[in-house]
Amino acid sequence: MKCFFLFLTLNFIFFNVLHGQNFDFIPEQLKPITHAELLKNPPSKKIDLVFYADGTPTTFDAVINQVKSGELVPEAFVDENGDYKALVVNKVDSKINYPKIPDSIKNLGYSVGNIQSDTVIIFSQGGPSFTLDTWRFAKLKDIVGNYLWVNVKQGQMLNPNPFENKELTFEDLKNFERQSQKNLYEVVQFFKSQNKKVFLIGGSGGGFLISRLIATYGNIADGYVITTSRLDMNDEMWKPRLKGERTLFKSDGKTIYLGNPPTTVLDKNINLFQAAGVDRKLTKELGQTDLSNVIFLYGKTDNRVGALSDHEIHFLQSHGALVIASNGGHLIYQDYIEVLLRLLLLD
């Protein structure tokens, strides 16, 4: 149980809205709760009433691994005392659902929402993660609008096995990162070819990926929300990772220190992978690129990636981006994402 809710906590990205009770096999007196509430007050024991969305009964133990992998979407229900009484899980097809989309593109992601919408919002997931977040980002459609929402797979999601089986080289991991850029590019280009307005959103590692996409392929989308990310990561942050050291920021968002070095093969690969995603100086690569369709949110006390430097802020602003500073840390996007998306979508 503890591992299940640790998994949810680590992967919780956006705040969610309350849904009405819409399953006739769930007692009417029970009410659904948001995933945010679930995280704040996890159940102390297993939930007895567990069903698939079609009403087929199952058990908590039978579905837990699929919830972890993102193959099942969970909805929890409580009684009048706030005690957990039921869980409903819904199977998802982790493909992009759109008419006549080529298989090569369809298999690069997961989609929810209105396939008839003229607007496509593409999510660039943080991490590095090894499975698609198939339900948390999807809740945004209930908050912001019933557009077509697409979460795009990253390179390591297509081939996760090497990360646990052997220590990878920096170049190996650069190739995974390049594949992630290519995946995003191909999905954006497809929907642009369908005369859709395409917007990208991403935070942390997903934000780094969007900025590098623009530097590599150009400003190809209609707009972007990038949060808790950087353009020029401090050399003191990523270069020590090439030697197996783990570097971190203090809560001032500026001071860098050495943490405990990674010990397992997976941790070593992730530590190096994070370096592979931040090694470029994008203020140089972006040159004279117009960034007037970019909203960039950063936290002044971000202890994961650090706060934007004065140079980065000046570069973004001088190239037309809207830069928003918060006194918060790395998780500030949870408080801002709805309003930033609404601002992005304004004509």
CATH code: domain of residue 165? 3.40.50.1820
* Confidence at residue 106, expressed as pLDDT on a 0 to 100 scale: 94
> Do 184 and 311 belong to one domain?
yes
For residue 244, what pLDDT is reported? Answer: 94
Question: Same structural domain for residues 63 and 195?
Answer: no
Residue 262 has a pLDDT of 93
Q: Are 323 and 207 in contact (CB under 8 A)?
A: no
Residue 37 shares a structural domain with residue 116: no
Q: Which of 91, 122, 150 is the last residue of a domain?
A: 91
Residue 113 pLDDT: 87
Clarify whether residues 75 and 122 are in a common domain.
no
152 in Cβ contact with 108 (< 8 Å): yes
The residue out of 91, 113, 128 marking a domain boundary is 91
Within a domain: 265? yes
Nearest to 64 by CA among 8, 139, 127, 133: 8
Residues 61 and 192 in one domain: no
Task: Output the pLDDT for position 137.
Answer: 65
- Considering the domain boundaries, does residue 98 fall inside one? no
Residue 97 resides in a domain:
no
One domain for residues 73 and 119: no
Is the same domain home to 206 and 310? yes
Of 91, 111, 142, the residue that ends a domain is 91
pLDDT of residue 134: 62
Say yes or no: 261 and 207 in one domain.
Answer: yes
Q: What HEC string does the chain produce?
A: CHHHHHHHHHHCCCCCCCCCCCCCCCCCCCEECCHHHHHHCCCCCCCCEEEECCCCEECHHHHHHHHHHCCEEEEEEECCCCCEEEEEEEECCCCCCCCCCCHHHHCCEEEEECCCCCEEEEEECCCCCCCCCCCCHHHHHHHCCCCEEEEECCHHHHCCHHHHHCCCCHHHHHHHHHHHHHHHHHHHHHHHHCCCEEEEEEECHHHHHHHHHHHHHCCCCCEEEEECCCCCCCHHHHHHHHHCCCEEECCCCCCEEECCCCCCHHHHHHHHHHHHCCCCCHHHHCCCCCCCCEEEEEECCCCCCCCCCHHHHHHHHHCCCEEEEECCCCCCHHHHHHHHHHHHHCC
Decide if 96 is inside a domain: no
Residue 44 domain-assigned? yes
Within a domain: 133: yes
Contact present, 330 and 306 (Cβ < 8 Å): no
84 within domain boundaries: yes
**pLDDT at site 14:** 30
**Same domain as 152, residue 32:** no
Number of domains the chain is built from: 2
State the residue range of the domain holding 85.
2-91
Same domain, 36 and 163: no
* pLDDT tens, residue order, the chain (347 aa): 444 443 443 333 333 333 344 577 888 889 888 655 665 666 767 888 999 877 889 998 888 777 766 667 778 899 988 889 998 887 766 789 999 899 999 999 989 889 999 999 999 988 888 877 765 666 677 778 889 999 999 999 888 888 888 999 999 999 999 999 999 999 999 999 999 999 999 999 999 999 999 999 999 999 999 999 999 999 999 999 999 999 999 999 999 999 999 999 989 999 999 999 999 999 999 999 999 999 999 999 999 999 999 999 999 999 999 999 999 999 887 788 888 999 999 86
Beta strand 72-78 pairing with 57-58: unpaired
Cα dist from 44 to 5, 58, 61, 85, whole Å: 11, 20, 15, 12
> Does 240 share its domain with 162?
yes
Tell whether 83 and 127 lie within a shared domain: no
Q: Would 50 be classed as within a structural domain? A: yes
At residue 92, the pLDDT reads: 64
